[in-house]
A and B are shown apart, each in its own frame.
Chain A
Amino acid sequence: MAGTAVNPGRQSVPDLREPAGWRRAKNQIMTGLMGLAFLIIVVPLVLVLYLVVQKGIGAISWQFLSGPIPPNVMPLGFNGSGMGPAVVGTLEITGFAALMAIPLGVLGAVYINEYGGRSMLSRVISFMADVMTGVPSVVMGLFIYTIWVLHFGYSGLAGSFALACLMLPIIIRSSFEMLRLVPDNLRQGSYALGATKSRVTLTVVLPAAVGGIVSGCLLAVARAAGETAPLLFTILTVESTNTNLFSGANTALSAQIFANATSPYVGAEARAWGAALTLIVIAFVLMIVARIITARFTRYSR
């Protein structure tokens, strides 16, 4: 190793490369390992997408997105049938869950970071949110089943409650992290102009963090839209469209994927793939819409 050290020959050009030996080798090994880790992460992701698109694309049509759910034995596309009720159900159940969880979660995060400080209440909320993240979704479904479904029966609303409980901790945690990143000197600048705390929060802190908050909320919504277990206990999974969120059994894409994929019939299986692709596309569209909205809010925060 010592032999490769800088050779102070008078005319020679200095060798500025990393000296050969263990250090250079280590650098290369680590770079290689990181590349490998990236591949290992990307391969399943690409495979899942590829498989779902390949198997599901054949099912997708306007009729599939709007038509009624046929009995399992029927072939794909039978008599104008599809997954319409499930699309409607997923949109209303997840949408209403988001409507409940996003304001509550973001306000909770605002409280923890801006108002609570290191107070007991704020630390308790923060801790509980972390604990809630670890609660399995089945348990959340059972919880809603016990406190709501047993008293008021199955409904889309019960499903929304379960999904909202799942979203809440993710939204609180991610929003809190984003608010924490807002530099304190922005708050100070606003205070120095005579702004009240609520003004500072509404006009400086939240706008500065909105991009990250929207991303976090979206992640939570997308995760919840794909949840199956908590819905099984709360919406019962029927085949007909139910546009009334507040009463009567309902259905959802995730629940239909489960029901159809576990059925032995070819048509049902194809419908399950189609529903899976639909779910992914819904999440994707949501993501794009949210990006467009946040781009408007964050155009000044380069």
Chain B
Amino acid sequence: MEQPQNEVTAKLTVPQTATGTRPGSQPRPQAGATVFDLDKVSVYYGAFRAVTEVSMNIHENEITAFIGPSGCGKTTVLRSLNRMNDLIPGARVEGKIRYRGAGLYDVQASPTAVRRRIGMVFQKANPFPKSIYDNIAYGPRINGIRSKSRLDEIVETSLRHAALWDEVKDRLGKSGLGLSGGQAQRLCIARTLAVEPDVVLMDEPCSALDPIATGRIEDLMQEIKSRYTIVIVTHNMQQATRVSDRTAFFSVLRNEQPGRSDTRTGVLVEYDRTVNIFDNPRDERTQAYVTGRMG
């Protein structure tokens, strides 16, 4: 049932003929297979429609950035991609989200099975109050891996991938809560990688970090990109230009309908290659946002 769809048209993108090359970067390869296919996705919290009719395709082995002002629904869309919104009472998704061809919200789809494939890193680092080792081994243990040697191996490779191994290899038995902010966030990334997900969702992973720690995490994203598909929500537009291949700009739409209590909703304004979004946006709202005239 997991048939990779090879059509690369994103519904809101312009034809990809003019793929820009950013100064100093390699010419971009052809877009990979479609990992997520969102078709008119609306997300509700109770009666409030937080996001309205988002349609987009997210591609394999790319970093896709969601940008936009506060309240535009970018985190909501991100959380709907691994069904984290299910945990919020009253949250509901309309429209179709397909993950590699399979309906993410089909009745047979189990949220836990979804989340094992699609991991998430949160805005605030949330290491468990366990040892560093147990933090990483948590996910694999859930998946039934008991062998000590296998777990040792996973812990080491995950920490190496997250560029944290050298800093913590001598204190794997110490609490994960004793790490600095940047280290804790990398621990959470390592913890996510330990279950070998297909996709890593990141919700403003660097918003609480200093520029050096941010730089390390951005480097890390570039390194792991070849093996994972990454979607990142960021408030930092420089970060979006630095790390992402494609950028989706969300904005708040004021609803003019009279007699309705919810007068605003998030919409996807423009989705394109990052270089186009920032250098040559097609929508004036995008233009206003990326040049700092709004938001």
Contact = CB atoms under 8 A, between A and B. Distances in A.
- The majority secondary structure among interface residues of chain B is helix
Interface string A44-71: 0000000000000000000000000000
Contacts of B134: 300
A300 B115 contact: no
Interface string A186-228: 1111111111100100011001100000000000000000000
B111 to A, nearest CB: 8
A287 B131 CA distance: 26
Contacts of B192: 192-193
A195 B139 CA distance: 8
A117 B89 contact: yes
A63 B126 CA distance: 55
Given A193-B142, A193-B192, A185 B115 contact: no
B130 A194 contact: no
A193 B128 CA distance: 12
A101 to B, nearest CB: 27
A194 B112 contact: yes
B119 A193 contact: yes
A158 B82 CA distance: 52
A44 to B, nearest CB: 37
B208 to A, nearest CB: 12
Interface residues of A, number: 25
A301 interface: yes
A301 B135 CA distance: 12
B176 A193 contact: no
B122 A194 contact: no
A8 interface: no
B87 A193 contact: no
Interface string B84-122: 100101000000000000000000000111111001101
A302 interface: yes
B177 A301 contact: yes
Contact of A208 (B129, B191, B195): B129
Residue among A203, A299, A300 having the largest count of chain B Cβ atoms under 10 Å = A300
A194 B140 CA distance: 10
Interface of B: 82, 84, 87, 89, 111-116, 119-120, 122, 124, 126-131, 134, 138-139, 142-143, 175-178, 188, 191-192, 195
Ranked 10 nearest A-B pairs via Cβ: A194-B116, A301-B129, A300-B175, A192-B120, A193-B139, A185-B126, A194-B115, A189-B126, A194-B112, A300-B129
